[in-house]
Structure 1
Amino acid sequence: MTSQSFAPASTIAPMPRRDRLVPADLVAARYADVADRRLAVTLTAEDRSEEDGLNPLERITCRTHRRWLHDCVASPLHVVVVTGTRWCRSCERALTVAIDHVAGDVAVSCPSCGETPATAATRQLVRACRASLAAAHDR
Protein backbone atom coordinates (compact mmCIF):
# COMPACT_ATOMS: atom_id res chain seq x y z
CA MET A 1 0.00 0.00 0.00
CA THR A 2 1.37 3.40 -0.93
CA SER A 3 0.87 6.46 1.16
CA GLN A 4 -0.62 9.19 -0.99
CA SER A 5 -2.10 12.40 0.25
CA PHE A 6 -5.32 13.53 -1.38
CA ALA A 7 -7.09 16.78 -0.73
CA PRO A 8 -10.69 16.52 0.41
CA ALA A 9 -13.11 16.84 -2.49
CA SER A 10 -14.39 20.18 -1.22
CA THR A 11 -10.96 21.82 -1.51
CA ILE A 12 -10.11 20.65 -5.03
CA ALA A 13 -10.41 23.51 -7.51
CA PRO A 14 -12.78 22.78 -10.40
CA MET A 15 -11.17 22.16 -13.77
CA PRO A 16 -11.38 25.25 -15.97
CA ARG A 17 -13.81 24.92 -18.86
CA ARG A 18 -12.24 24.73 -22.30
CA ASP A 19 -14.04 27.89 -23.40
CA ARG A 20 -12.33 29.82 -20.59
CA LEU A 21 -8.88 28.96 -21.96
CA VAL A 22 -9.19 31.07 -25.09
CA PRO A 23 -6.36 33.54 -25.74
CA ALA A 24 -7.63 37.11 -25.67
CA ASP A 25 -6.24 37.88 -29.14
CA LEU A 26 -8.71 35.40 -30.66
CA VAL A 27 -11.61 37.60 -29.54
CA ALA A 28 -12.45 40.93 -31.18
CA ALA A 29 -12.84 43.91 -28.84
CA ARG A 30 -16.59 44.14 -29.55
CA TYR A 31 -17.02 40.63 -28.08
CA ALA A 32 -14.64 40.96 -25.13
CA ASP A 33 -17.55 41.12 -22.67
CA VAL A 34 -19.34 38.03 -24.03
CA ALA A 35 -19.31 35.51 -21.17
CA ASP A 36 -19.31 32.43 -23.39
CA ARG A 37 -15.74 32.51 -24.72
CA ARG A 38 -16.45 29.89 -27.39
CA LEU A 39 -19.24 32.12 -28.67
CA ALA A 40 -16.94 35.15 -28.61
CA VAL A 41 -14.27 33.30 -30.60
CA THR A 42 -16.82 32.03 -33.12
CA LEU A 43 -18.34 35.50 -33.54
CA THR A 44 -14.87 36.91 -34.17
CA ALA A 45 -13.95 34.15 -36.62
CA GLU A 46 -17.20 34.56 -38.57
CA ASP A 47 -16.77 38.34 -38.72
CA ARG A 48 -13.29 37.83 -40.19
CA SER A 49 -14.54 35.13 -42.57
CA GLU A 50 -17.34 37.41 -43.74
CA GLU A 51 -14.70 39.97 -44.73
CA ASP A 52 -13.09 37.19 -46.79
CA GLY A 53 -16.34 36.23 -48.53
CA LEU A 54 -18.41 34.13 -46.12
CA ASN A 55 -22.09 34.55 -46.97
CA PRO A 56 -23.68 36.25 -43.93
CA LEU A 57 -26.62 33.84 -44.22
CA GLU A 58 -24.23 30.93 -43.57
CA ARG A 59 -23.22 32.19 -40.11
CA ILE A 60 -24.00 30.14 -37.01
CA THR A 61 -23.70 33.24 -34.81
CA CYS A 62 -25.50 36.56 -34.96
CA ARG A 63 -23.37 39.67 -35.17
CA THR A 64 -26.33 41.90 -34.29
CA HIS A 65 -27.52 40.05 -31.19
CA ARG A 66 -24.06 38.68 -30.27
CA ARG A 67 -25.59 35.25 -29.71
CA TRP A 68 -25.68 31.80 -31.24
CA LEU A 69 -28.03 31.91 -34.23
CA HIS A 70 -30.49 29.41 -32.74
CA ASP A 71 -30.91 31.71 -29.71
CA CYS A 72 -32.12 34.70 -31.70
CA VAL A 73 -33.35 33.37 -35.05
CA ALA A 74 -36.96 34.13 -34.04
CA SER A 75 -36.20 37.87 -33.97
CA PRO A 76 -37.97 39.92 -36.65
CA LEU A 77 -34.51 41.13 -37.69
CA HIS A 78 -33.81 37.66 -39.09
CA VAL A 79 -36.63 37.83 -41.63
CA VAL A 80 -35.19 38.61 -45.06
CA VAL A 81 -37.99 38.95 -47.58
CA VAL A 82 -35.66 39.33 -50.58
CA THR A 83 -33.88 36.00 -50.00
CA GLY A 84 -36.90 34.22 -48.51
CA THR A 85 -35.13 33.66 -45.21
CA ARG A 86 -37.84 33.08 -42.58
CA TRP A 87 -40.43 34.20 -45.11
CA CYS A 88 -43.44 32.45 -46.67
CA ARG A 89 -43.76 33.94 -50.14
CA SER A 90 -47.22 32.42 -50.67
CA CYS A 91 -48.73 33.98 -47.54
CA GLU A 92 -46.34 36.93 -47.30
CA ARG A 93 -45.74 36.24 -43.62
CA ALA A 94 -42.76 35.66 -41.40
CA LEU A 95 -42.10 32.00 -40.62
CA THR A 96 -41.95 30.72 -37.08
CA VAL A 97 -38.93 28.76 -35.91
CA ALA A 98 -39.03 26.19 -33.12
CA ILE A 99 -35.74 25.06 -31.63
CA ASP A 100 -35.54 21.74 -29.74
CA HIS A 101 -32.40 22.05 -27.60
CA VAL A 102 -32.60 18.48 -26.35
CA ALA A 103 -32.99 16.75 -29.72
CA GLY A 104 -30.93 19.38 -31.54
CA ASP A 105 -33.62 19.88 -34.14
CA VAL A 106 -35.11 22.90 -35.87
CA ALA A 107 -38.64 23.23 -37.25
CA VAL A 108 -39.73 26.05 -39.54
CA SER A 109 -43.33 26.70 -40.53
CA CYS A 110 -45.71 29.40 -41.70
CA PRO A 111 -48.19 30.49 -39.03
CA SER A 112 -50.78 31.11 -41.75
CA CYS A 113 -50.70 28.03 -44.01
CA GLY A 114 -48.76 25.72 -41.67
CA GLU A 115 -46.35 24.71 -44.44
CA THR A 116 -42.58 24.67 -44.42
CA PRO A 117 -41.40 26.38 -47.60
CA ALA A 118 -39.27 24.01 -49.69
CA THR A 119 -36.75 26.72 -50.52
CA ALA A 120 -32.99 26.92 -50.44
CA ALA A 121 -33.28 29.73 -47.88
CA THR A 122 -35.31 27.58 -45.49
CA ARG A 123 -32.97 24.60 -45.87
CA GLN A 124 -29.96 26.87 -45.27
CA LEU A 125 -31.57 28.39 -42.16
CA VAL A 126 -32.25 24.94 -40.71
CA ARG A 127 -28.66 23.83 -41.44
CA ALA A 128 -27.23 26.98 -39.83
CA CYS A 129 -29.43 26.63 -36.73
CA ARG A 130 -28.50 22.95 -36.32
CA ALA A 131 -24.82 23.83 -36.64
CA SER A 132 -25.32 26.63 -34.11
CA LEU A 133 -26.95 24.23 -31.65
CA ALA A 134 -24.14 21.73 -32.11
CA ALA A 135 -21.43 24.35 -31.64
CA ALA A 136 -23.11 25.85 -28.57
CA HIS A 137 -23.51 22.46 -26.94
CA ASP A 138 -20.12 21.18 -28.18
CA ARG A 139 -21.60 18.26 -30.10
Structure 2
Amino acid sequence: MLLQNRPHPHPAETHRRYAHLRDRRLAGVLIDEDTAEDREELSALERISCRVHRRWAHECISSPTHVIAVTGHRWCRPCEAEANIAVDELTGDITITCTRCARTPTTPATRQILRTCRASLATATEHRRRA
Protein backbone atom coordinates (compact mmCIF):
# COMPACT_ATOMS: atom_id res chain seq x y z
CA MET A 1 0.00 0.00 0.00
CA LEU A 2 1.27 3.47 -0.81
CA LEU A 3 2.30 5.61 2.14
CA GLN A 4 0.07 8.47 1.00
CA ASN A 5 -3.01 6.22 1.11
CA ARG A 6 -2.32 4.95 4.62
CA PRO A 7 -4.74 6.41 7.14
CA HIS A 8 -3.12 8.43 9.91
CA PRO A 9 -4.31 7.91 13.45
CA HIS A 10 -6.42 10.65 14.89
CA PRO A 11 -4.39 12.80 17.35
CA ALA A 12 -6.65 11.70 20.21
CA GLU A 13 -5.81 8.04 19.45
CA THR A 14 -2.11 8.83 19.61
CA HIS A 15 -2.54 10.57 22.96
CA ARG A 16 -4.46 7.58 24.35
CA ARG A 17 -1.75 5.21 23.15
CA TYR A 18 0.70 6.78 25.60
CA ALA A 19 -1.69 7.74 28.43
CA HIS A 20 -0.33 4.93 30.65
CA LEU A 21 3.25 6.22 30.58
CA ARG A 22 4.46 7.75 33.81
CA ASP A 23 7.19 9.70 32.00
CA ARG A 24 5.13 12.47 30.43
CA ARG A 25 8.19 13.90 28.64
CA LEU A 26 8.63 10.54 26.91
CA ALA A 27 4.92 10.46 26.05
CA GLY A 28 5.20 13.93 24.52
CA VAL A 29 8.25 12.98 22.46
CA LEU A 30 6.53 9.80 21.28
CA ILE A 31 3.48 11.79 20.16
CA ASP A 32 5.61 14.43 18.42
CA GLU A 33 7.79 11.85 16.68
CA ASP A 34 4.80 9.70 15.64
CA THR A 35 3.24 12.75 14.04
CA ALA A 36 6.48 13.81 12.32
CA GLU A 37 7.11 10.28 11.07
CA ASP A 38 3.56 9.91 9.75
CA ARG A 39 3.99 13.21 7.89
CA GLU A 40 7.30 11.94 6.47
CA GLU A 41 9.16 14.74 8.25
CA LEU A 42 11.21 12.30 10.36
CA SER A 43 12.75 8.94 9.54
CA ALA A 44 11.86 6.10 11.88
CA LEU A 45 15.60 5.48 12.16
CA GLU A 46 16.27 8.99 13.49
CA ARG A 47 13.77 8.85 16.34
CA ILE A 48 14.95 9.25 19.94
CA SER A 49 11.85 7.40 21.15
CA CYS A 50 10.65 3.96 20.14
CA ARG A 51 7.12 3.62 18.89
CA VAL A 52 7.22 -0.18 19.23
CA HIS A 53 8.52 -0.44 22.81
CA ARG A 54 7.19 2.95 24.01
CA ARG A 55 10.57 3.76 25.53
CA TRP A 56 13.53 6.03 24.94
CA ALA A 57 15.54 4.64 22.01
CA HIS A 58 18.65 4.06 24.12
CA GLU A 59 16.62 1.89 26.52
CA CYS A 60 15.45 -0.63 23.94
CA ILE A 61 18.01 -0.46 21.13
CA SER A 62 19.43 -3.80 22.34
CA SER A 63 16.16 -5.55 21.45
CA PRO A 64 16.34 -7.99 18.51
CA THR A 65 13.55 -5.91 16.97
CA HIS A 66 16.13 -3.22 16.24
CA VAL A 67 18.43 -5.44 14.16
CA ILE A 68 17.94 -4.49 10.51
CA ALA A 69 20.32 -6.40 8.27
CA VAL A 70 19.16 -4.65 5.10
CA THR A 71 20.18 -1.19 6.35
CA GLY A 72 23.06 -2.36 8.54
CA HIS A 73 21.49 -1.32 11.84
CA ARG A 74 23.06 -3.50 14.54
CA TRP A 75 24.48 -5.68 11.80
CA CYS A 76 28.05 -6.56 10.78
CA ARG A 77 27.99 -6.98 7.02
CA PRO A 78 31.39 -8.69 6.61
CA CYS A 79 30.42 -11.34 9.22
CA GLU A 80 26.72 -11.38 8.33
CA ALA A 81 26.03 -11.30 12.05
CA GLU A 82 24.09 -9.31 14.62
CA ALA A 83 25.91 -6.64 16.57
CA ASN A 84 25.29 -6.25 20.27
CA ILE A 85 24.87 -2.83 21.81
CA ALA A 86 25.43 -1.70 25.38
CA VAL A 87 24.41 1.69 26.75
CA ASP A 88 25.86 2.81 30.06
CA GLU A 89 23.44 5.44 31.35
CA LEU A 90 25.86 6.59 34.07
CA THR A 91 28.88 7.29 31.87
CA GLY A 92 27.06 7.80 28.58
CA ASP A 93 29.26 5.19 26.88
CA ILE A 94 27.69 3.32 23.99
CA THR A 95 29.41 0.30 22.50
CA ILE A 96 28.39 -1.68 19.45
CA THR A 97 30.23 -4.94 18.75
CA CYS A 98 29.77 -7.75 16.28
CA THR A 99 28.85 -11.06 17.88
CA ARG A 100 31.38 -12.84 15.64
CA CYS A 101 34.42 -10.60 15.13
CA ALA A 102 33.96 -8.37 18.22
CA ARG A 103 34.59 -5.25 16.13
CA THR A 104 32.37 -2.21 15.79
CA PRO A 105 30.77 -2.11 12.34
CA THR A 106 31.98 1.07 10.60
CA THR A 107 28.84 1.96 8.69
CA PRO A 108 26.53 4.93 8.36
CA ALA A 109 23.90 2.86 10.22
CA THR A 110 26.21 2.38 13.20
CA ARG A 111 27.01 6.10 13.29
CA GLN A 112 23.28 6.86 13.11
CA ILE A 113 22.56 4.52 16.03
CA LEU A 114 25.25 6.25 18.09
CA ARG A 115 23.79 9.71 17.30
CA THR A 116 20.26 8.61 18.11
CA CYS A 117 21.21 6.87 21.36
CA ARG A 118 23.26 9.86 22.51
CA ALA A 119 20.36 12.22 21.78
CA SER A 120 17.88 9.89 23.48
CA LEU A 121 20.08 9.51 26.54
CA ALA A 122 20.68 13.26 26.78
CA THR A 123 16.97 14.07 26.52
CA ALA A 124 15.96 11.45 29.09
CA THR A 125 18.75 12.49 31.47
CA GLU A 126 17.88 16.17 31.20
CA HIS A 127 14.25 15.41 31.93
CA ARG A 128 15.18 13.35 35.01
CA ARG A 129 17.38 16.16 36.33
CA ARG A 130 14.51 18.64 36.09
CA ALA A 131 12.03 16.31 37.79
For the superposition of Structure 1 and Structure 2, which TM-score range results when normalised by the shorter chain? 0.7 to 0.9
How many residue pairs are counted as aligned between the two chains? 114
Map 1:73-92 to 2 at 5 A: 73-92=61-80
Q: Unaligned stretches of 5+ in structure 1?
A: 1-24
The list of structure 1 runs, each at least 4 consecutive aligned residues, that deviate by more than 3 angstroms after superposition, is none
User: 1:134 maps to what in 2?
Assistant: 122
Q: Which amino acid aligns with 2:28?
A: V
Task: Render the CA deviation track for 1:34-89: whole Å, top value 9, x for unaligned.
Answer: 11000000000000010122110000111000000111111000001110000011
User: 1:111 maps to what in 2?
Assistant: 99
* TM-score for both structures, normalised by structure 1: 0.78
Identity of aligned residues (%): 52
Greater gyration radius: 1
Map 1:1-139 to 2 at 5 A: 28-53=15-40, 54-138=42-126
Please give the root-mean-square deviation of Cα atoms over the aligned residues, in Å. Answer: 1.4
- Whichever structure has more helix as a proportion of its residues is 2
Q: Unaligned stretches of 5+ in structure 2?
A: 1-11
Answer with 27-36 or 93-102: which moved more. 27-36
* TM-score for both structures, normalised by structure 2: 0.83
